[in-house]
Amino acid sequence: MPSSAVIEPIARALSIVSAMNQHRLTTISDLHRVTELPKPTIHRILATLMNCGYVAKDIDRSVYMLSEKVLSLSSGYGKEAWLLQAGTPIARKITRDVKWPVAIGIFDYNAIVVQYSTRPYSEFVLQGSTVNKHFKLFNSAMGQAFLAFCEKDQLNSILEDLRNDELNDEAILKDEFAIRRYIADVRARGYGLRKGNRGESTHMALPIKSDNEVIGVIGISIFSSCFNGTVAQEYLTLLKQSAMEIIASMDQMMAVAEM
């Protein structure tokens, strides 16, 4: 990164936090030795971090420690973030191999939101980018893949939230039997499916599960004219294998991060 793009005070503060993260208790001399920053600079940074609540000081021993507030900085980097990091190269590989665009989505406020799409890399782009696009849980392949394969407690909670959403007018929510039959049909098929008319796209999607929890979905779009039973089985196998590869890659990344 060009030096002109670096805000030095922020870079120095982050180097202090990183150094303190290696030891429970540190002194200014310890931080000076590790970061090579001037002691007066370290003192000012620590004073700022203390004022913001990220560092605490043991006055009796003149040592510093990170406070519990630091944990809040990682709240936005959960499994979904690891999912995207692990899934991006795998999704691109699928598109390189079969040419069709692939998308990865997560559940967010009663919908599936696309976090990554390989449409820019596909030779068969049917529409513009779908990144940040919201898909309903019913009547979309990605929504079906999430709804049908999540755990019972989560499913019941989602259905309750959908019913309480004044902006949601899906008729199926008024018929408990229809909902259960809809979900049973998706499970029996083994994947989410939205068939398009000729000239449109057909979408297939599978859940990405970690410790029996659905943390995301992966889907592929193909021309409806190319879709048939043989193609469905071929891509079902491909998506299953890809979902397993994503989880394996995630687990490896998370294990390294914890070392």
For 194-217, write each residue's pLDDT tens digit.
999 888 899 999 999 988 889 999
pLDDT at 258 over 80: no
Which band of pLDDT confidence, cut at 50, 70 and 90, is reported for residue 80?
confident
Q: Is-contact 69 240, C-beta < 8 A?
A: no
Indicate whether 257 pLDDT > 80: no
Q: Average pLDDT for residues 49-57, to the nearest whole number?
A: 90
Confidence at residue 214, expressed as pLDDT on a 0 to 100 scale: 92
Residue 255 has pLDDT above 90, yes or no: no
Q: Assess contact for 239 and 179: CB atoms under 8 A.
A: no
User: pLDDT by residue (tens digit) across 146-179?
Assistant: 999 999 888 998 898 888 887 777 888 888 899 9
Percent of all residues in the chain with a pLDDT value above 90, rounded to a whole number = 50
Residue 1's pLDDT is 43
Residue 127 has pLDDT above 60, yes or no: yes
Determine the pLDDT at residue 234: 96
What are the tokens at 80?
């979904």
What's the CATH code, domain 3-74? 1.10.10.10
Q: Distance between CA atoms of 156 and 162, rounded to whole angstroms?
A: 10
Q: Residue 254's pLDDT is what?
A: 81
**What is the C-alpha end-to-end distance of the chain, expressed in Å?**
27
User: What's the confidence (pLDDT) of residue 202?
Assistant: 95
**Structure-token match 């039959």, residue found:** 181
Question: What span, in angstroms and rounded, lies between the C-alpha atoms of 36 and 258?
Answer: 26
**How is domain 79-258 classified at the CATH fold level?**
Beta-Lactamase (3.30.450)
Mean pLDDT of 30-51: 92
pLDDT at 238: 97
How far is it, in rounded angstroms, from Cα 78 to Cα 70? 15
CA-to-CA dists, residue 55 to 16, 28, 50, 58, angstroms: 11, 13, 5, 10
- Domain boundaries of the chain, sorted by first residue: 3-74, 79-258
